[in-house]
Amino acid sequence: MPGRMDFFAVVSAMTLSTFPVGAQDVGNGSELAKEHCLRCHDISVDGKMKTMPPSFASIAVFRDYDQIRMRIMFPAMHSIMPAWSQMFSNTEVDDLAAYIVSLE
């Protein structure tokens, strides 16, 4: 029976494997965020916890890359967040998600 630490090692290995480090352009994500996200979200590295909408720094703490990517593509029901999937390419969504992850 694997120990607790083994379990976490496996989980983090799985999480990392879905995040192709280096494929995204964090700088471009930052530019896109300034242009399109700043008017609602705090996109800075020292964004506060428990704000609405959530700061990008708090999103980085609570969500992983794939979850962030999915929420950019598919905002929560009844959210006022625009449907970015109709505006951005996959690469742009990758860059935005990478930028948010980089704030953790």
Using CB under 6 A as the binding rule, the residues of this chain from 19 to 38 that contact ligand HEC are 33, 36-37
Q: Does 81 participate in binding ligand HEC (rule CB under 6 A)? A: yes
Contacts 24+ apart (CB under 8 A), 81-87: 81/40, 81/53, 84/36, 87/36
Q: Does 101 participate in binding ligand HEC (rule CB under 6 A)? A: no
Work out which of 21, 22, 80, 89 binds ligand HEC, going by CB under 6 A: 80
20 or 82: whose CB is closer to ligand HEC?
Answer: 82
Distance between CA 29 and CA 6 in Å, rounded? 34
Distance between CA 73 and CA 17 in Å, rounded? 21
- Which residues are at the interface with ligand HEC (CB under 6 A)? 33, 36-37, 39-41, 53-54, 59, 63, 68, 71-72, 75-76, 79-82, 84, 96
